[in-house]
Chain A
Amino acid sequence: MGCRSLERYNCLGISLLAFGATVTPFFYFIMSNVPLTALGVSIMILGAVMALTPINPVPKPAVRGLLEGAMLSLEGLLEELDLSERGYYVAHEDGLVYVYVPSSKAEPPNVDSKPRSLVVELKGQPYLVLIPPASALAREYPSTSLEDAVSTVLVDLAELCSGVRVAKGPGYIRVELKRPRGRRAPSRFKRVLGSLEACVTACLAASALKRPVYVSSEVEEKGWRRVTLEVA
């Protein structure tokens, strides 16, 4: 299904809306027929819904492929620099989410401004700063509800899983992903940033909460993946 067919869907919605808006007064004032008037109103509602449906010009497998490609390139970088400590997802004022990977075990970084180089030193501790695969998506899909944002990106946009449940607790967020279908994350990437689904979720959580977040654990169980994010 290409871009043009989705645009045609919106055009069909506008056509239905125009048709409904034309026939409804005719049915009501000229024919004085209430059921037909109601039919006109229902056509208008349906047309408006179809016209307002956002087009999704990039196919879902392509979005998933781009995310997986970015994951593989980060894996190469982490492997080359021999980093394996857990990374902290931090949202900055430019709307992007950055991952601070310490060279050795370290406390969550306390940063105010966005990083200016690939390696930053905070309180004597060097951190490698990476832009995770879903960083830009966190900026493009802000939402009042974390569950909505995660569902939009993971289910609707990239089709990385078929359902999402989010539960918040004191200092942690538990995200349950139904039937995750992303490519298996390479070992180093998984250790530092979590699986691809966890990485996307952590990006969105850091962006929504405006606080550092890291992937604490991931458990697979009967078609579900339970991801625990700790809020630093």
Chain B
Amino acid sequence: MTPDKNFMFALVLGILMALTTPTLAALGEIRLDVYVSLFTLEYFAAKAILRPRLRVRDPVAITLLFLFLLIVALRVMEVLGVAPLS
């Protein structure tokens, strides 16, 4: 029986995120945006490879993309000295 790609997607994403969080924590990472950026990257990579079929037009991807763009914008502003994050 072929494994269902929707369930494979949830499984792969769960494993990736379960590995990322303790790894970054062990490295002493305390910036939340780093975690969220990596979750976003993992989400889109798994989605591109496994191409799951969802009920609706993927609100998770839209939310993660919005958060990622916000993080990038804040970092750029920090570099420019407009609104530092920390």
Contacts and interface: CB of A to CB of B under 8 A. Distances in A.
A46 interface: yes
A156 B21 CA distance: 32
B2 A35 contact: no
Contacts of A56: 4
A113 to B, nearest CB: 33
Given A38-B21, A38-B32, A42-B17, A53 B10 contact: yes
A35 B4 CA distance: 31
Interface string B1-25: 1101111011001100110111011
B24 A48 contact: no
A46 B30 contact: no
Contacts of A31: none
A45 B43 CA distance: 9
B22 to A, nearest CB: 8
Contacts of B60: 45, 48-49, 52
Contacts of B5: 155-156
Interface residues of B, number: 35
Contacts of B10: 46, 49-50, 53
Interface of A: 28, 34-35, 37-39, 41-42, 45-46, 48-50, 52-54, 56, 60, 148, 151-152, 155-156, 159, 162
30 contacts: A34-B30, A34-B35, A35-B25, A38-B25, A38-B39, A39-B21, A41-B32, A41-B36, A42-B20, A42-B21, A45-B39, A46-B10, A46-B13, A48-B59, A48-B60, A49-B9, A49-B13, A49-B52, A49-B54, A49-B60, A52-B54, A52-B60, A53-B6, A53-B52, A53-B55, A54-B53, A54-B54, A54-B55, A151-B51, A156-B6
